[in-house]
Amino acid sequence: MKAMLLRVGIDKSSDGVLSPIFPDGSFEYIPLSESDEKSVEKRTYDDLIGIKGKKLSIYLPKALADCKVHFDPEFTTFTYGDVGRKAGYLLKLEPGDILVFYAGLTPQKESEHPEALYIIGYFTVKEILDFKKHSLNEILGFRKKYPDNSHPKRDSGLGEMVLVVGDPEKSKLLEKGILISAKKLNKIDRAYHAVSPQMEELLGIKGSIQRSIPPRFINEKGKIINLKILLGL
């Protein structure tokens, strides 16, 4: 068994903003905006209701309210898809492995939680679908079977996609974020997010975990046990 950590959700480099974290540690998972103009996704931030019962658009600049969302991962049927280099990493997963998602969160109102990276959810892998091995009709069937995920709604690269399907009984969007980063300074004195000393010891990963960094894998049995305890598995 192994685990893979991936950064997801809206961020400053994509849309200029982070998802909010509230005083009680709960958060809104806000997906990226959809960059593919040919996507058949129709949902916008103004259409989606968050855990607080409010439209996701209220947490975002007005210019983003009517933008289509790229809802991936989604936590209804528990799917995550990608193409290219990341798809190759997804193919390293096997049923029973854990795919862990983390996101940048920023304090909302009087929240004392720092702006940082937090684990927001996970899948226990049930199935990995490599679209290269399926016909177009089968791929279009996956699009209908998993309508909550925006990635299969893109025509570009559709035949190159890998879709991870989580076990619905062992996958979830967390109620509260789990802090995993600390701000440090690199050699040219620019701030960046790195794994906190506590998480470095607990999970055995270290260094920067920005979105551009390749996914981090946890393979050591003891560290996997620590991760499962952390996630409540």
Q: How many domains does the chain have?
A: 1
Tokens of 49: 């209701």
d(CA 210, CA 103): 10
In a domain, 40, yes or no: no
Count of C-beta atoms within a 10 Å radius of residue 16: 12
In a domain, 48, yes or no: no
Q: Which residue has the tokens 């989604």?
A: 74
In a domain, 32, yes or no: no
In a domain, 153, yes or no: yes
pLDDT in tens, 62-104: 999 999 999 999 999 999 999 988 899 999 999 999 999 999 9
In a domain, 43, yes or no: no
In a domain, 92, yes or no: yes
Burial class (CB in 10 A: 0-12, 13-18, 19+), 43: middle
Please tell me the pTM assigned to this model: 0.92
Question: What's the pLDDT score for residue 27?
Answer: 96
Indicate the helix (H) or strand (E) that contains 217.
strand 216-218
d(CA 233, CA 26): 19
Q: Supply the DSSP string of 90-131, one letter for each residue.
A: HTT--TT-EEEEEEEEEE-TT--SPSEEEEEEEEEEEEEEEG
Boundaries of domain holding 139: 3-27+71-231
Q: Is there a contact between 167 and 148 (Cβ–Cβ < 8 Å)?
A: no
Q: How does strand 116-130 pair with strand 172-179?
A: antiparallel
In a domain, 52, yes or no: no
Q: From first to last of the 233 residues of the chain, give the pLDDT tens digit.
A: 999 999 999 998 889 999 999 999 999 999 999 988 889 999 999 999 998 899 999 999 999 999 999 999 999 999 999 998 889 999 999 999 999 999 999 998 777 888 999 999 999 999 999 999 999 999 999 999 999 999 999 888 888 999 999 999 999 999 999 999 986 555 544 456 789 999 999 999 988 887 767 899 999 999 999 999 999 99
Q: How many CA atoms lie within 13 A of 53 on its CB side?
A: 0
In a domain, 50, yes or no: no
